[in-house]
Amino acid sequence: MDASRSRRRRAPFLIGLLAILTALPVGYFLFLHEAPAPAPVSMPAPAPKVSTPPPAPEPPRLVELKLQEIRGTVEVRRGGGEWRGASVGEALRASDAVRTLAGSYAVLIGGEAVEVRMEPGTEVTVAELTDTLSRLLLGKGMTTMRVRSSSGAPHALELTATGSDAVARSQGGAFTVSNNGAGTVALATLEGETTLSGQQRSVVVLAGQQSVVRPGQAPSAPAPIPASLLLKVNWPDRPRRQILISGQTEPGTQVLANGEGVLPDAQGRFSFPLTLKEGSNPVRVQVRSVGGLRQEEQRALQVDTTPPKAVTVDPGLWNDPAPPPP
């Protein structure tokens, strides 16, 4: 009886012990056991960056110069062709040339950007024309050029000269250039500023200033445009049918004799032959500087080649007078 009662007492103890032993692994798993770290999730590799090249700049558009105004005799030449008469509205492109003869005048425009005014006896050749640059060649004579921005885009005007390494360049200015074709180039700036280069030296010519490039020399230091212009003409005392007239003016000045261009040398000396007719011969010498100054001299040269009339002599003039009557 005591034994069964003892077994009944041990039974709850054994059951509790068994429950505790059973709960130990569960508690360990729930509270003490660290869960394994989650396996790393592999992210997809980023796509390689493809560098997009910047868009290529648009090439400059080719443009043209047009003859807006013509006075007198103006001629054009296509490439290396023959000279022929020009007409208003005619377009000039690269390698084309235009010239004004004696007493003639022409105005060329390049859209809103460029204006070229050619004095008599001037020749200009087109070297390059785009919407950002106009490059021209002054063969001889004198021209006034203006350049301005076109539709907000900057535009450059560049002028070279035959017989010289001088280069004039401007953006948004106005200037006058003369070239005698033998290395003397003069420039005056009317508006804005112009860069004049030669012999690896450059000067900036401001509005109201001028500079001269002589053969084999760099541009002179910019100086104010003078208030007067020198002109001295050596007129013949006794004109003949064939004469030579000479004179002196400022270097880089344009000289016209009866409308025909005369090329002065690097010191401004000039001469030109003339064939005169019998009687009165009006001769007009005009000079114009790049600064806009003008001067002139004129004479009416008289030519008289008729021989003097023969003198009739009374034969009795040389006889002794008759003796008086007795």
The CA distance from 300 to 277, in Å, is: 12
Q: Do 194 and 88 fall into the same domain?
A: yes
Q: How confident is the model at residue 148 (pLDDT cuts 50, 70, 90)?
A: confident
Q: Is residue 35 part of a domain?
A: no
Q: What is the pLDDT of residues 259-304, one digit of tens each?
A: 888 989 999 999 999 999 999 999 999 999 999 999 999 999 999 8
> What pTM value is reported for the model?
0.74
pLDDT of residue 59: 57
Cα dihedral 144, 260, 186, 296, rounded to 10, equals -90
Q: Do 155 and 206 fall into the same domain?
A: yes
CATH number, domain of 101, equals 2.60.120.1440
Q: Is residue 110 part of a domain?
A: yes
Q: Do 112 and 184 fall into the same domain?
A: yes
Q: What is the pLDDT of residues 170-220, one digit of tens each?
A: 998 999 999 999 999 999 999 999 999 999 999 999 999 999 999 999 999
Q: Do 154 and 280 fall into the same domain?
A: no
3-state secondary structure of 2: helix
Q: Do 139 and 285 fall into the same domain?
A: no
Q: How confident is the model at residue 156 (pLDDT cuts 50, 70, 90)?
A: very high
Q: Do 102 and 237 fall into the same domain?
A: no
Q: Is residue 251 part of a domain?
A: yes
Q: Is residue 17 part of a domain?
A: no
Examine the pLDDT at 10 and tell me if it is beyond 90. Answer: no
The CA distance from 6 to 298, in Å, is: 162
Overall number of domains in the chain: 2
Domain stop point among 224, 249, 273: 224
Q: Is residue 50 part of a domain?
A: no
Terminal Cα-to-Cα distance of the chain (whole angstroms): 239
Q: Do 188 and 245 fall into the same domain?
A: no
Q: Is residue 46 part of a domain?
A: no
Q: Do 211 and 251 fall into the same domain?
A: no
- Identify the domain containing residue 293 by its residue range: 231-303
**C-beta pairs of 132-137 under 8 Å, 24+ apart in sequence:** 132/60, 132/156, 133/60, 133/157, 133/158, 134/65, 134/110, 134/158, 135/159, 135/160, 136/160, 137/161, 137/162
Average pLDDT, the chain: 86
Residue 108 · residue 116 · CB < 8 Å: yes
Sequence-ordered list of residues with C-beta below 8 angstroms from that of 191, at least 6 positions apart, any chain? 146, 173, 174, 207
